[in-house]
Amino acid sequence: MNTLKTGILMAALMGLFIAVGGFIGGTGGMMIAFVIAGGMNLFAFWNSDKMLLKMFGARPVSATSDPALYRMVETLAANAKLPMPKVYVSENLQPNAFATGRDPEHGAVCVTTGLMERCSSEELAGVIAHELGHIRNRDTLIMTIVAGVGCAIGMLANMAMFMGGSGDRERNPLGIVGVILMMMLAPIAAMLVQSAISRSREYEADKAGAEISGRPQWLADALGQIERAAKGLPNHQADANPATAHMFIINPLHGGLSGLFSTHPPTQERIARLRAMDNGTGANGSVSVDVGARPVPQVARAITAARGPWG
């Protein structure tokens, strides 16, 4: 299913590249855009995770630089039966997190300094388990490629301002009006691509995170905490690159079209489902997967070790 989704999304993004290329340079522009789009798809597959981590100023964390955080991720990854992902921290006051990587063997988890400062160790563990759920479900391939190529769509739209208003009526009969429309519609199209990614992936990652940590309530508490704080704290990198918003555990954007094209389900619904799991029932009263009444002992020990930095 992930392969099918990836193919559909890449076809849609390539079509958008070709359309914008045709707007900028006619038939020749379409051919150039086709070649560029194909190359970017390949580049995004191999390198977009590195681009995104760099975009958010993420610094790597090791067992020596931050042993408590590293040990927590290591323990949760082992419980999820995943290879140890790379761990990163982004200097950002907004509490948030995302996962990236084309497959579990190349997975990475990034948390913000705001998340580490505002959340308890239990809540942090719940968030990390959610991101590991994305890696285990192989959502990160779609998320990473869409984010990288979505940003490029915005850049290509900006090129229309310099190349699309030259007065060539054959390729741009609307003149400057067409340029302005292209600059407006291309970013919206990128948001639509984000919205095309099923919202169910967040519910599935929540469920997987609850299984990995053994405590659905940890993630439920974290989601409420993050949403309240995120509403009042900006995430300038995400605001500048809205095509990356779908990667975060909570929508990092403020205002604009972020609500209209949000790829995140309502937070209160996510919390309700997690609390239902904690009580042994699903969101609609069905029996949920057994996550256990207590956190896995190894996870509990990792939480205890982490109480120094986070309390």
Residue 105 among the catalytic residues: no
Give residue for tokens 């099918």: 4
List Cβ neighbours of 263 (8 Å cut-off, separation of 6 or more). 194, 195, 197, 199, 202, 245, 246, 251
Q: Is 88 helix (H, G, I), strand (E, B) or coil?
A: strand
92: left (phi over 0), alpha (psi -120 to 50) or beta: beta
User: What stretch of H or E contains 11?
Assistant: helix 2-55
Half-sphere exposure of 184 (CA within 13 A, CB side): 7
Distances (CA, A) of 306 to 156, 208, 223, 272, 303: 45, 22, 20, 27, 5
Cα–Cα dist 14/54, whole Å: 24
Q: Is 306 exposed, middle or buried (0-12, 13-18, 19+ CB in 10 A)?
A: buried
**Percentage helix, strand, coil, to 5, in the chain?**
65, 5, 25
**Of the listed 105, 117, 122, 131, which one is catalytic?**
131
Distances (CA, A) of 309 to 48, 67, 124, 302: 31, 10, 11, 12
Compute how many other C-beta atoms are within 10 angstroms of the C-beta atom of residue 267: 19
Q: Is 89 helix (H, G, I), strand (E, B) or coil?
A: strand
Cα–Cα dist 271/220, whole Å: 5
List Cβ neighbours of 180 (8 Å cut-off, separation of 6 or more). none
Active site amino acids:
131
